[in-house]
Amino acid sequence: MDDKRLEQRLHLLKDSYERIPSEIDVDAILNEIEEVQVNEKKNKGTKWQRVTVWAVSIASVFIIGVLSADYLEGGGIKNSQKKQEELEQTDDLIEYANSLKDQYEKEREKRRQVLGIPVKDFKTLSFVQQADGFASSIDYFSKQTYDSNYSTSKDRYKELFEKAVNNIHLPSEMVDDILKQQEKLDEEKTSEFFNSYYSKIIDLKIYFNKKQNVTKNQMVSLEAEGLYFENGKFHFKGNDNYLALKAFLAPPVAGYFKMLEQEPYTYAGELVYSLEDSVAAMLIFENSLLESFDYYSNISTMKAYYTEIFHAVVKGTKDQSIYGDDGKVKEEYRQLWKAMMSQTSNSPVNYILPPIVKEFEASNWRKSDSWESLNNRDIDDALHLAINGDLGQFIENPLTGNNETPVDDNFAQRIHALYKLFAGTYDQTVLKDAKPEEIVGLYYYCAQLGDEVTKYELYIKDDQYQRIPKEEYMKASHQKITDFRNEFSSLHFEQRSDKEGYVVLTLHPDRTLYLHDEVIGFAMIHTENGWRAAFMPTQ
């Protein structure tokens, strides 16, 4: 019997003893009997005295017996039986927990031997540490105070055990499990599978790429996991099982597997692959990003690769200029850009490239202002709008100039001056020459001041556009900000037609509005008195 079981049994005995009614003072009764017997020896009394002593003694024993019987009939035995059952169930739970831990250790050791990794190294792998954490939880809970819900305790141990074993499974086993189930996973479950699969592949790749000597047996084991040794390093390659696996996973995962196979795509600002292969990967990433939710743990990495490739393909790199010796854009870039536009729709490609190509063509492929001003942030903004489904509103009539207006003290002073002219009078002609960016700045300055009446006057008044009655507007809840300079970093105007356009606002890191976005569009409509805010402009 181990220390824990002995301690529990002693606790049971202590509980049983303490249940004897406190009003019975057995020691006092016995002391009284002894005193009577001593007095009898010292002073022989009369016959009647001796009879009295014996009567008291018999009565005392009788009382103790009656009270003890009352204790037993009052539930003492039942409580002891219940405590005994609890002890037996606790013993069973401890044995069950120990059997699960032993079973886990065997499963863990199997994987270690398959990979041929030393014990001290195996426990440093991230996925092994996570599995060990679940296994340790079984031990932790089994040592806690008894859980009165016996079946719940067993279920908890079993759940922890299954999580530990699933985490210790090698990538190839994860694939086999999916193929055996023959059930197509939805996007959320697909991402859960890939996130775990990806982290294990990266763990193994990093570990074995640091090793100087890898045995033949380890090479064979790693190839089963999809890791092949080429050019002095291990790289992931999809094998036959991977090709079969794709049929049971949600389509957006294709981009993430592509990234796992080929990353990195840039090195020191240069493209690792050819122009054509880089663009092919970029467009696969685009499909994955536009069709999926933010379930994937490495979505930020994919976005970064997308932006880096796009920028290198359009702007060129230090080693690969887009210009030829004649000062014109090289033919391969011209054809590539046109092919990219023809293969996409509602894409950052369709938003960024058309004005660049148009301007280059107009200058005999020598100059483009849109190309000159293009930077990584422009690509990030376009990708963000595309992911949110907002990019389509810009594509029909793309960039008319991408000059950013910083939201700084100078901008704030201009907005304050406009406010002083317009507030109170609401003379629409005052704002006739105001830029769209200034109207948007004035809109949020009114929100900062809590002047909803003036802000309402900035909305479109034309009956052909949707409007909201003033009384209804004033009763509604409104945005509250302390300083619009802390809400937006910069803004610029995108004109779609003579009548419509959007101000694109890049949000400030310390903002209190639009917390889930990095950039938003603010719809504008042109009137005879200048640009005005559309109804619900940021929707």
**Residue 356 pLDDT level (bands cut at 50, 70, 90):** very high
* Residue 233: predicted pLDDT: 92
Lowest mean pLDDT among 102-111, 231-240, 260-269: 231-240
Q: What does the DSSP assignment read for 280-301?
A: HHHHHHHHHHHHS-TT-TTHHH
Q: Is the pLDDT of residue 532 over 70?
A: yes
Mean pLDDT score of the chain, rounded to an integer? 82
For residue range 487-515, what is the model confidence (pLDDT) as tens digits? 999 999 888 777 888 899 988 888 888 77
Indicate the length of the chain as a whole number: 539
Residues in contact with 31: Cβ distance below 8 Å, sequence separation at least 6, in sequence order: none
The residue among 537 and 392 whose pLDDT is bigger is 537
* Residue 475: predicted pLDDT: 85
For residue range 288-323, what is the model confidence (pLDDT) as tens digits? 999 887 889 999 999 999 999 999 999 999 999 999
Average pLDDT over residues 462-468: 73
Q: Is the pLDDT of residue 46 over 70?
A: no
Q: How far is CA 272 from each of CA 171, 196, 210, 268, rounded to the nearest angstrom?
A: 27, 27, 22, 10
d(CA 202, CA 224) in angstroms, rounded, equals 15
The total of other beta-carbon atoms located within 10 Å of residue 81's CB is: 11
d(CA 81, CA 528) in angstroms, rounded, equals 92
For residue range 150-180, what is the model confidence (pLDDT) as tens digits? 556 788 888 899 999 999 999 999 999 999 9
Side-chain-side CA neighbours of 491 within 13 Å: the count stands at 27
For residue range 95-126, what is the model confidence (pLDDT) as tens digits? 888 889 899 999 999 999 999 999 999 999 99
The residue among 445 and 57 whose pLDDT is bigger is 445
* Residue 22: predicted pLDDT: 47
Lowest mean pLDDT among 128-137, 140-149, 345-354, 522-531: 140-149
* Residue 495: predicted pLDDT: 81
DSSP state of 534: P
Which one-letter amino acid corresponds to residue 390? D
The residue among 240 and 338 whose pLDDT is bigger is 338
Q: Is the pLDDT of residue 53 over 60?
A: no
* Residue 92: predicted pLDDT: 76
* Residue 73: predicted pLDDT: 52
d(CA 72, CA 500) in angstroms, rounded, equals 91
**Residue 330 pLDDT level (bands cut at 50, 70, 90):** very high
Burial bucket for residue 409 (CB in 10 Å: 0-12, 13-18, 19+)? exposed
For residue range 367-421, what is the model confidence (pLDDT) as tens digits? 999 999 999 989 998 998 888 887 766 654 444 445 788 999 989 999 999 999 9
The residue among 56 and 423 whose pLDDT is bigger is 423
Alpha helices in 344-406 (DSSP H): 348-362, 369-373, 376-387, 392-395
